[in-house]
Amino acid sequence: MRIERIVLFGQAFSEGGAEAAAELAARFEAKLAYLFLEDINLLRLAELPFASEIGIDTACWRDFELSGLQRSLRTLASQAEETLSSLAQRLRIPWSFQVLRGIPSQALLAATCSSDLVLLLRSQPRVGLPTRTESLAREIVSRSGAAVLFLSDGTPVQPPFGVIFSGMTSDLRTLHLVAALASDFAGKLVVLSLGSGEEVFRETAFQQVVQEAPSTTLLTGIPPKARRILAAAAPEGLGLLALSIGDSSLPPEEIESIFAVAPCPILLLP
């Protein structure tokens, strides 16, 4: 899978998220794009005559005015664009900045494609999102074909890199991408094999892929349950855990459980 654009999507500016995105864009030799969202539902709410808010600085009720909201969004967008420009110049990567207006899930799906890696942050506001961020990530992957990196703000992507592997074709694509990433970082690849024994290690296609990584650890016989997968991965101290939903043997609820409780960034691929 070729990543051509790293997309940071936000309803608010995140310096840590922007830095993580820029570093990945440099490693993948990809374009860095910031899609800044103006949530149409929030703007409509501010137009209502009875709308009010609690000030974060005063803890007092005040009118929620459209003009004030628009000024705040312009300020945040300006900060985001300035930071993105600075990061892109320092790392010498192409970049773009775009302000989107709409419903978050619809706007993001319309703006992404199969060659994108989309970053979603656990700390991002979720106003207007019709589903949990975990479900939104699966929707992006399944409908647009983009990959999604789900991480906490400021959490670095670093080795060792883990891959959930069940022997499917989509798992091999995921394995190839993460093995290449391990090579770029000069780090270890950890393969978490669901229900497979050592024989998977001897398959030609598997061998060709894992040889891209500097070193590989294979953990076998893991049941397809989030709790068991994360327990097996814990001693490895993973800095990234990747999985494919293309033809995965993991049910959606187990994938969402991994998203919810995994201590490291999660990479979700088609």
How much is the pLDDT for 58?
A: 57
How much is the pLDDT for 240?
A: 93
Residue 204 to residues 149, 167, 189, 215, 243, Cα–Cα distance (Å): 29, 12, 17, 17, 21
Across the strands, what pairs with 32? 6, 95
Cα–Cα distance between 154 and 123 in angstroms, integer? 10
> Residue 251, preceding bond cis, omega within 30 degrees?
no
How much is the pLDDT for 91?
A: 92
Q: Are 200 and 165 in contact (CB under 8 A)?
A: yes
How much is the pLDDT for 188?
A: 93
Q: Which letter, b or e, does each residue of 200-210 get, where b requires 16 or more Cβ atoms within 10 Å of its Cβ?
A: beeeeebeebb
Positions in the chain short of pLDDT 50: 125-131
Cα–Cα distance between 256 and 250 in angstroms, integer? 10
Cα–Cα distance between 112 and 268 in angstroms, integer? 15
- Best CA proximity match to 190, nearest among 138, 124, 241: 241
How much is the pLDDT for 203?
A: 76
How much is the pLDDT for 254?
A: 87
Q: Are 198 and 218 in contact (CB under 8 A)?
A: yes
How much is the pLDDT for 260?
A: 79
- 266-269/240-244 β-pairing: parallel
Q: Are 7 and 141 in contact (CB under 8 A)?
A: no
Sequence-distant (6+) residues with CB within 8 A of 40 are 101, 102, 103, 128
Cα–Cα distance between 97 and 90 in angstroms, integer? 16
Has this prediction a pTM greater than 0.95? no
Cα–Cα distance between 207 and 161 in angstroms, integer? 17
How much is the pLDDT for 231?
A: 94
